[in-house]
């Protein structure tokens, strides 16, 4: 009897499973032949790729220091440089009187004739630089003198807006006011300054760049070679800058694509100096 119940049940299960499979296959076949369904799947795949790319960019941006962090670091560097210059000036002032005292003690222990010649040798004999004369050599550049020049050591792929151009190869940095890691010049004193920057482009690459003082745009240049030239564009400004103000070059809000070039055939650079 039990066998009579089991056999119909198995047959019902097999029949039902076959019907369901057939229905599912029909639905899948309908989806495969549906153009709207294919377009929706393709759009979903495109959105997934876009989300992955945005995640990568967000991760890269999160790794970069914020503007406030850059400002804090550059301000701390400026304070440390001022403190070092101040200490070196105090040391040089202390060493000069000590050297005068040492020379006086040496002369007092000699006879008048020898003392006369020894005094000349210790102070002003031509061709023999004395220790005192070496101490008078400046160990640091006065803050009255401020000038810098730096350029890109290689080509840079930049397409983002408001991207700070950190010119990493420093040739001149009188006053140590330019910071290559952040691309920022921090004015050591107030005055009238000249700033100039040069951007090299070629092929289909083009950029808009702007010079800012405390995040305020002072001047802008744009160069689009239009696949016809390999050349440079240069901007120059004369502007009053207060002590502690930061000056930098960054990409503009629009029209940025591809590489900014810098090589032995032409450098992209940033320079500045004080007039008074």
DSSP per residue, 247-263: EEEEE-SS--BSEEB-B
Q: β-strands 178-179, 269-274: how paired? A: unpaired
- 24-28, 145-149, 188-192, 220-224: lowest mean pLDDT where? 24-28
CB 144 within 8 A of CB 254: no
Task: Give per-residue pLDDT as tens, 172-202.
Answer: 999 999 999 999 999 999 999 999 999 999 9
77 pLDDT higher than 90: no
What's the CATH fold of domain 143-274?
Jelly Rolls (2.60.120)
DSSP reduced 3-state for 31: helix
- 22-36, 64-78, 135-149: lowest mean pLDDT where? 22-36
Domain ranges of the chain: 7-51, 85-135, 143-274
pLDDT band at 154 (very low <50, low <70, confident <90, very high): very high
pLDDT band at 55 (very low <50, low <70, confident <90, very high): confident
| Predicted pLDDT of residue 114 | 45
54 pLDDT higher than 70: yes
126 pLDDT higher than 50: no
The per-residue pLDDT of the chain, averaged, comes to 78
60 pLDDT higher than 50: yes
pLDDT band at 40 (very low <50, low <70, confident <90, very high): confident
111 pLDDT higher than 80: no
| Predicted pLDDT of residue 28 | 53
The conformation of residue 203, written as its DSSP 8-state character, comes to: T
Residues 6+ apart with CB under 8 A from 164: 182, 183, 184, 248, 249, 250
pLDDT: is 233 or 34 the higher one? 233
| Predicted pLDDT of residue 31 | 58
237 pLDDT higher than 80: yes
């Amino acid at each position: 009897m039990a066998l009579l119940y089991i056999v119909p049940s198995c047959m019902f299960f097999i029949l039902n499973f076959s019907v369901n499979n057939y229905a599912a296959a029909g639905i899948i076949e309908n989806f495969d032949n549906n153009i709207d369904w294919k377009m929706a799947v393709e759009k979903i795949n495109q959105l997934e790729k876009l989300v992955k790319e945005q995640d990568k960019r967000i991760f890269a941006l999160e790794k970069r220091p914020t503007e406030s962090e850059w400002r804090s670091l550059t301000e701390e560097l400026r304070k440390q440089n001022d403190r070092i210059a101040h200490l070196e000036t105090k040391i040089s002032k202390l060493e000069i009187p000590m050297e005068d005292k040492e020379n006086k003690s040496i002369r007092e222990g000699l006879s008048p004739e020898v003392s006369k010649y020894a005094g000349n040798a210790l102070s002003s004999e031509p061709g023999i630089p004395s220790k005192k004369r070496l101490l008078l050599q400046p160990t640091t550049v006065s803050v009255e003198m401020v000038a810098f020049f730096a350029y890109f050591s290689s080509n840079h792929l930049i397409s983002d807006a408001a991207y700070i151009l950190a010119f990493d190869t420093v040739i001149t940095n009188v006053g140590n006011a330019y910071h290559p890691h952040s691309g920022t010049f921090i004015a050591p004193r107030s005055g009238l300054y000249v700033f100039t920057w040069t951007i090299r482009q070629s092929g289909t690459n083009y950029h808009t760049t702007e010079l800012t003082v405390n995040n305020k745009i002072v001047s802008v240049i744009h160069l689009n070679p239009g696949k016809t030239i390999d050349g440079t564009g240069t901007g120059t400004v004369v502007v009053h800058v207060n002590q502690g103000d930061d000056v930098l070059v960054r990409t503009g809000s629009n029209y940025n694509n591809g590489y900014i070039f810098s090589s032995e055939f032409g450098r992209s650079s940033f320079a500045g100096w004080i007039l008074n």
